[in-house]
């Protein structure tokens, strides 16, 4: 039986409910799980906010509210004054028992739209499984909660966030931190979930390890990885030859970023097929590149023959020049990273792709490939990336907050690192080069995509330490080099 590490396993809400049921069937009472959740939440908040002396817990009618009642009951033992605002009557027997226990200890339980002053607020209104916008009294409390300036700790999932998709309904709690119980929920790691959840902590509540092995996750989180040190007798021929194709008139910067990123991640050689007008600028900026002006598709022949990997699409355009190069490159059948206009051309001219192709769409490009709109992609990013990988039978990377990587068989990896510093032109072009450079060094399509996405995201975070606004794609280059060599912890 496969060992599953809860810290890297990601589940749907229904899968977590199955874990809960299995734990209860195995002899852990539901109320005991609540007690464990409350104790874990108290330990976390004491670590995260050691100076907090007063606590206001907002409790809803379900078991999430039960966790909140028990947290409030434990708080006085830690020297923290607690008060509860309850929304509705507790719906389950465990939740009713938790509320009764809280009231028996003399913890004030209020029913008011007014938030009392506190050092810290706890959101225990609604847990996982929410599928619609919150209304009424609870919605008013969430708006008041978001309007005040004290920190908010969410229990399990911020109320108003879809735990499966990461879509934030209006209103949705914007937490400083979220402590997730039993298992990671998908929505905490993609779409709007990363912003709403804040810092994330998992409390597995001491569930038996074999329980997770019996319930495989929906996806896995990426872990930080570098490549092993190179032997001293290395030479450039051991590490592949990337051919970056793109850069129509006015878009030479795109293919420059792609090709330099491939070098910085460790490709042995990088050639560039682009417009003649860009060659001098590329050589002046980065003499290690080998650019060549290509006028018509037949000029690509010698370059394609020498290449081991193709990075196709950045700045390519969709006119006759770009279409011709796109078709010629794909016809060769070599491992390919397909991005930008390479993806737009695929949407316009569907075709079979080489088996070791990697698609790297952003949500807009994904929508064009799927024949839907961007909002539909973002409403279920997991479904979208799986559909793309299956439709084209290749590894697919769906970029965005919480980038997802999928195989045609439905395996999904989730990038837990994100930075708004990557929200600038050219960062996607750099990712194309990163993945292409890793493919050239012998990684499989899956590993190149996973390692590449992880290093690129971590480099983005490091590059944005001076401020996310104004971060440039080229700012990532020194961090790419350091991270792929394991020289810094990103």
| First CA to last CA distance, the chain | 32
Both tokens of 94, joined, read 């465990």
In the predicted structure, residue 370 carries a pLDDT above the cut 80: yes
Asked if residues 56 and 85 have their Cβ atoms less than 8 Å apart, the reply is yes
Tokens 């394991």 belong to which residue? 486
Question: DSSP class of residue 296?
Answer: S
pLDDT of residue 290: 98
Q: What is the mean pLDDT of residues 359-378?
A: 98
| Residues pairing with 243 in the sheet | 271, 310
pLDDT tens for 319-330 read 999 999 999 999
Q: Residue 490: is its pLDDT beyond 80?
A: no
Q: What is the dihedral of CA 31, 36, 37, 38, to 10 degrees?
A: 90
Strands of 404-406's sheet, edge to edge?
184-185, 9-11, 219-221, 412-414, 404-406, 395-398, 358-359, 336-338, 309-312, 241-245, 269-274, 290-293
453-465 per-residue burial string, b: 16 or more CB within 10 A, e: under 16: bbbbbbbbbbbbe
Mean of all residue pLDDT scores within the chain: 96
Report pLDDT digits (tens) over 187-201: 999 999 999 999 999
pTM: 0.96
Task: Say if CB 419 and CB 464 are below 8 A apart.
Answer: yes
Work out the pLDDT band at 90, boundaries 50, 70, 90.
confident
Report the DSSP beta bridge partners of residue 121: 56, 152
Residue with tokens 């059948």: 333
Chain centroid offset of residue 6 CA: 17
* From 3-7, 126-130, 402-406, the region with the lowest mean pLDDT: 126-130
Q: How far apart are CA 31 and CA 37, in angstroms?
A: 10
Q: H or E stretch including 45?
A: helix 30-48
Percentage of the chain beyond pLDDT 70 is: 100
Q: What is the mean pLDDT of residues 92-120?
A: 94
Helix (H, G, I), strand (E, B) or coil at 279: helix
Tally of CB atoms within 10 A around 119: 15
Per residue in 271-307, pLDDT (tens digit) is 999 999 999 999 999 999 999 999 999 999 999 999 9
Each residue's pLDDT tens digit, 448-469: 999 999 999 999 999 999 999 9
**E strand or H helix at 269, and its extent?**
strand 269-274
For residues 168-193, average pLDDT: 97
User: Between 63-74 and 93-104, two packed helices, what is the crossing angle to 10 degrees?
Assistant: 20
Closest CA to 8 of 162, 155, 184: 184
Q: What whole-number distance in Å separates Cα of residue 480 and Cα of residue 221?
A: 20
On the question of pLDDT at 1 being above 90, the answer is no
Asked whether the predicted pLDDT for residue 127 surpasses 80, the reply is yes
C-alpha closest to that of 345 among 372, 374, 318:
318
Q: How confident is the model at residue 91 (pLDDT cuts 50, 70, 90)?
A: confident
Reduce the DSSP state of residue 121 to 3 states and report it: strand
* Strands laid side by side in the 152-155 sheet: 109-110, 81-86, 54-59, 120-124, 152-155, 177-181, 199-203
Distances from the Cα of 211 to the Cα of 4, 84, 202, 216, 449, angstroms: 9, 34, 16, 9, 30
Domains for the chain: give ranges and CATH numbers: 9-218 (3.40.50.10260), 236-484 (3.40.1190.20)
Contact 132, 163 (CB under 8 A): no
């Amino acid at each position: 039986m496969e060992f599953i590490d809860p810290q890297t396993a990601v589940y749907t809400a229904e899968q977590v409910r199955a874990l809960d049921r299995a734990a209860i069937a195995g002899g852990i009472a539901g109320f005991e799980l609540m007690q464990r959740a409350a104790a874990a939440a108290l330990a976390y908040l004491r670590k995260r906010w050691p100076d907090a002396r007063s606590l206001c817990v907002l409790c809803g009618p379900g078991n999430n509210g039960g966790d909140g009642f028990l947290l409030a009951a434990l708080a006085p033992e830690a020297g923290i004054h607690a008060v509860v605002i309850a929304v509705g009557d507790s719906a389950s027997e465990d939740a009713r028992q938790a509320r009764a226990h809280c009231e028996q200890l003399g913890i004030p339980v209020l029913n008011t739209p007014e938030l009392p002053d506190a050092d810290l607020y706890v959101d225990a209104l609604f847990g996982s499984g929410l599928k619609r916008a919150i209304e009424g009294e609870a919605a008013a409390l969430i708006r008041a909660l978001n309007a005040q300036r004290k920190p908010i700790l969410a229990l399990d999932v911020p109320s108003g966030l879809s735990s499966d998709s990461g879509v934030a309904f209006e209103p949705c709690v914007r937490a400083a931190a979220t402590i997730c119980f039993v298992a990671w929920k998908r929505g905490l790691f993609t779409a709007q979930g990363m912003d709403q959840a804040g810092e994330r902590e998992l409390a597995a509540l001491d569930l038996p390890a074999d329980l997770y092995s019996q319930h495989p996750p929906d996806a896995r989180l990426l872990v930080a990885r570098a490549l092993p040190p190179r032997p001293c007798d290395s030479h450039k021929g051991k590490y592949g030859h990337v051919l970056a194709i793109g850069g129509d008139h006015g878009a030479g910067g795109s293919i420059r970023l792609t090709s330099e990123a491939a070098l910085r991640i460790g490709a042995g050689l990088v050639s560039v097929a682009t417009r003649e007008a860009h060659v001098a600028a590329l050589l002046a900026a980065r003499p290690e590149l080998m650019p060549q002006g290509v006028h018509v598709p037949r000029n690509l022949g010698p370059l394609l023959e020498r290449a081991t990997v193709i990075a196709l699409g950045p700045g390519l355009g969709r006119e006759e020049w770009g279409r011709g190069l796109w078709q010629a490159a794909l016809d060769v059948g070599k491992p390919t990273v397909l991005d930008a206009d390479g993806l737009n051309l695929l949407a316009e001219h569907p075709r079979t792709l080489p088996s070791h192709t990697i698609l790297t769409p952003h949500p807009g490009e994904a929508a064009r490939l799927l024949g839907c709109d961007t909002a539909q992609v973002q409403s279920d990013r997991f479904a979208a990336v799986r559909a793309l990988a299956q439709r084209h039978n290749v590894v697919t990377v769906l970029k965005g907050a919480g980038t997802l990587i999928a195989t045609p068989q439905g395996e999904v990896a989730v990038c837990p690192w994100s930075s708004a510093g990557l929200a600038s032109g050219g960062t996607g072009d750099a990712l194309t080069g990163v993945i292409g450079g890793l493919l050239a060094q012998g990684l499989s399509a899956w590993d190149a995509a996973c390692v590449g996405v992880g290093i690129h995201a971590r480099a983005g975070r490091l590059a944005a330490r001076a401020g996310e606004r104004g971060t440039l794609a080229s700012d990532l280059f020194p961090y790419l080099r350091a991270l792929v060599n394991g020289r810094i912890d990103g």
